[in-house]
Every structure is written in structure tokens, then in C-alpha cells.
Amino acid sequence: MDNLFITWVATTVTVLATILWNKLRRRKRTAQLPRGSFGWPLIGETLDFVSCSYSPRPESFMDKRRLLHGKVFKSHLFGSPTIVSTDAEVSWFVLQSDENTFVPWYPKSLTELMGKSSILLINGSLQKRIHGLIGTFFKSPHLKARITRDMQCYVFEAINHWKDDQLICIQEESKRAKKRMVMLIENIIQEKRKNKNGCTQRDVVDVLINDGSDRLTDDLISDNMIDLMIPAEDSVPVLVTLAIKYLSECPLALRHLEVITETLRMGNIISGIMRKAVRDVEIKGHFIPKGWCVLTYFRSVHLDESLYKEAYKFNPWRWKDKDVGARSFTPFGGGQRLCPGLDLARLQASIFLHHLVTSFTWVAEEDHIINFPTVRMKGGMPIRVRRKAKEPPIPG
């Protein structure tokens, strides 16, 4: 009987102490859980989010809640309590944080599609090592020269077969160019594999292939070399396609150098990223509980009128006095997981646009943007081309 009483007293004291400690911790914490709504039981606000994503203005889901609750608010999306950030500084903090604060998190259906060895899901030292090595690889003048030369020749050869008044689907043409780049990089990897025995390690592919670690399998190398080098499966074709769309609507911008930058801002090829908090986090007066998902929504930042004057207007001239590296411009994310292939994407898009602009005039057919599940043109951005009087120069 005495033992039972002692057990009861000990349990009661433990429970009361826990409650008291939690209350004291809440009082000590100055940050508060953002305002917002969890929506309907089980499904939360997911249906509303997806419905808005299919509309011409997918940011309307965010805009409505931002007016009610502020730039950072709570919601319930894809089965998880979620903190949504449309604030540039909060989003930047999330992007810059390491795996001790936030780790990648995506809905189950998407993670199954990516595969467990995708660099988008790998954490820790392995992710840092692969990411760092491939980033170093891009500093190779030999690689850049080879890719530039190959893409110049391919694009020149492809457009040289276009005829006057021919209807060209830009989305499909740029996808073919993207496949050509993937093939080029895969060929480089295969060449390294064939010649790896007895060869001196000269670049990141040599290091990855000759690594003695069992964790760096052939599949991991080949999959993630492509994933990291070339951002997203269709991002470059979509970038080129959207650039043609905006240029068709604003011909005066044809000769401006920042067309691609403005296209990235307006197009929002990657609308946001998702992370999960591995500990309680406080940022700018907002509290993010451990285990909650965080959605940093780039699109709302890029179209924020307080950051970009006439944000919905295609205006490459705005970048004359604006920092491309600003926290309010994150077309491919940032931090340790910033895609090292971003410059390669710009290079491919620049080559394609250069040959198109210098060799042809065009008239765009009617088409419109679809924003979900990925950004693309519904009709593939068809244009009717006419060759300029001067033939394009043969690349050296």
C-alpha cells in the first residue's frame, strides 16, 4: 500500500512539474506562433491551396491569408501543420539554416517520385560533400568551354533548318536542347568511368567515381550529378519558353542583358521549397515548433509590390540598380542547397535566346501559363518565325 502511495505521489509531482516547466518556458519565450487557420479536419487547407495553384494567380492563396494574418502565417498543408513564409528575411533564414535546424520535407507522393537517393532528400555530410564537389566542378574552364561549344553548334544546327512562316513550339525545341546538355554531361561521366583505372584525379567526376566509400554508388553519382548540375527537370526549357513569351509582349527588351533575370522573377519556375523544423525555432518574433513544416513561398516575395515596383510588369530595366544576389530574389532557393547548376541554366538559356533573337523575327501565337503542378505553357509557346536578312554567323 505504501509503495502504491509513493508511486502515486511521484507521478503527480512529475506531471505537475512538467506542466509548470512548460508554462515557464512559454512565458520565457518571446516569439509567438503565427496567426492563421488549420482549415478543415484532416485535409486542412490543402484543397484551397491546390485550387489556387491551378488558377492564373496561384499566389492568391497566400495573398488572402497575408492580408488577414501577416506575411508569416500558420496553415495545414499536405497532412502537416505548416508555417508559410512570404517574408523575404524569414525565407532567407530558413534557406541558410543547416540540418541542425531544418531538413528537407516534401509530401510522401513527391518523395516517392524523387527516390530515396535524390540529393533533394539527402542530409548531413554526404549532401555537403557531393554539393561542394559538384560546385567546384563548375569552375572548370574546360567543362564550360566544352558545353558552350557543343550547345552553340547544336542550337545553330537546329535553327538553321527552320523555314520562313514555320510554326515552332519553343517549349519542345528548348527541351531538345536540354536533353542535348544532359547527354553531354552523361558522356563526360561515362568517359571518366572508362578511363578511371590508373588515371590522376583531375576534377570532381574523377573524385566521385574513384571514391572508396560504399555510400557513393554509381546510381548516386549519375543521378545527382544531373540533379545538381541542371536545376529541375524542365526548368531550363521553361525558362527559355517564358523568356520568349515575355519578349513577345515587350519587344523593346530584346537587347537588354537582364531578360533572363527578370524572367526568373516573373516566371517563378520554382515557386517555393519545403523544410521541417528539427527543433523549436524563433525568427523575427515568430515561433516555429519542432516537427512543423515550413513552406517558403518565393513567388509571393518576387511579386511583392513593396519590393518590386509594378511587380506584375515585365521590366528587365529594373535590374540596372538592383542586386541580383538580394535576399528578395531566390529563383532557385539558396544556402547550402542552392543549385550549383544555376549558371549552367543561364548559359544554356542565353545561347538559345541569342541565336533566336539575332537570326529571326517572330510572332507569338496565343497561349497562357499553367502554374500547377509545374510551370509551363499550355500550348508549348508556338511562334511563327521569319529569318532575318543576315544569316547567323557560324560558331567558332
Most trustworthy range by pLDDT among 29-33, 168-172, 246-250, 296-300: 296-300
Q: Could you tell me which residue, 108 or 198, shows the higher pLDDT?
A: 108
What is the structure's pLDDT at 212? Answer: 46
What is the structure's pLDDT at 286? Answer: 95
**pLDDT band of 175, cuts 50, 70, 90:** confident
In this prediction, residues 279-303 reach a mean pLDDT of 95
What is the structure's pLDDT at 26? Answer: 52
Residue 166 has pLDDT above 60, yes or no: yes
Domains identified in the chain, total number: 1
**pLDDT band of 46, cuts 50, 70, 90:** very high
Q: Residue 173: what residue type?
A: E
- Asked whether residue 268 is domain-assigned, the answer is yes
Residue 53 has pLDDT above 80, yes or no: yes
What is the structure's pLDDT at 350? Answer: 85
In this prediction, residues 145-166 reach a mean pLDDT of 85
Residue 377 has pLDDT above 80, yes or no: yes
Residue 356 has pLDDT above 50, yes or no: yes
What is the structure's pLDDT at 9? Answer: 58
Closest CA relative to residue 46, chosen from 13, 85, 78? 78
Q: What are phi and psi of 287, to 5 degrees?
A: -105, 125
Confirm if 340 and 135 have CB atoms less than 8 A apart. Answer: yes
- Asked whether residue 4 is domain-assigned, the answer is no
- Asked whether residue 302 is domain-assigned, the answer is yes
3-state DSSP of the chain: CHHHHHHHHHHHHHHHHHHHHHHHHHHHCCCECCCECCCECCCECHHHHHHHHCCCCCCHHHHHHHHHHCCEEEEEECCEEEEEECCHHHHHHHHHCCCCCEEECCCHHHHHHHCCCCCCCCCHHHHHHHHHHHHHHCCCHHHHHHHHHHHHHHHHHHHCCCCCCEEEEHHHHHHHHHHHHHHHHHHHHHHHHHCCCCCCCCCHHHHHHCCCCCCCCHHHHHHHHHHHHCCCCCHHHHHHHHHHHHHHHCHHHHHCCCHHHHHHHHHCCCCEEEEEECCCEEECCEEECCCCEEEEEHHHHHCCCCCCCCCCCCCHHHHHCCCCCCCCCCECECHHHCCCCHHHHHHHHHHHHHHHHHHEEEEECCCCEECCCCCEECCCCEEEEEECCCCCCCCC
Residues near 261 by Cβ (< 8 Å), separated by ≥ 6? 316, 319, 324, 329
pTM equals: 0.77
What is the structure's pLDDT at 288? Answer: 96
Domain residue limits at 108: 28-387
Query: Residue 186 to residues 171, 180, 226, 242, 325: CA-CA distances in angstroms?
Result: 22, 10, 8, 27, 30
What is the structure's pLDDT at 118? Answer: 58
Residue 60 has pLDDT above 70, yes or no: yes
- Asked whether residue 182 is domain-assigned, the answer is yes
- Asked whether residue 16 is domain-assigned, the answer is no
- Asked whether residue 32 is domain-assigned, the answer is yes
The CATH number of the domain holding residue 180 is: 1.10.630.10
What is the structure's pLDDT at 199? Answer: 54
Most trustworthy range by pLDDT among 60-69, 183-192, 194-203, 369-378: 60-69
Most trustworthy range by pLDDT among 74-78, 327-331, 336-340: 74-78
Q: Could you tell me which residue, 88 or 147, shows the higher pLDDT?
A: 88
The torsion angle over the Cα atoms of residues 349, 355, 177 and 131, rounded to 10 degrees, is -30
What is the structure's pLDDT at 76? Answer: 96
Q: Could you tell me which residue, 163 or 190, shows the higher pLDDT?
A: 163
Q: Could you tell me which residue, 214 or 348, shows the higher pLDDT?
A: 348
Place of cell 510572332: 363
Most trustworthy range by pLDDT among 111-120, 125-134, 179-188, 277-286: 277-286
Q: Could you tell me which residue, 48 or 8, shows the higher pLDDT?
A: 48
Confirm if 80 and 108 have CB atoms less than 8 A apart. Answer: no
Confirm if 331 and 266 have CB atoms less than 8 A apart. Answer: no
- Asked whether residue 393 is domain-assigned, the answer is no
When the pLDDT of each residue in the chain is averaged and rounded to a whole number, the result is 79
What is the structure's pLDDT at 47? Answer: 93
- Asked whether residue 44 is domain-assigned, the answer is yes
What is the structure's pLDDT at 279? Answer: 94
Residue 340 has pLDDT above 50, yes or no: yes
Residue 174 has pLDDT above 90, yes or no: no
Say what percent of the chain tops pLDDT 90: 29
Adjacent-strand bridge partners of 384: 167, 363
Say what percent of the chain tops pLDDT 70: 68
What is the structure's pLDDT at 82? Answer: 96
In this prediction, residues 309-330 reach a mean pLDDT of 86
**pLDDT band of 371, cuts 50, 70, 90:** confident
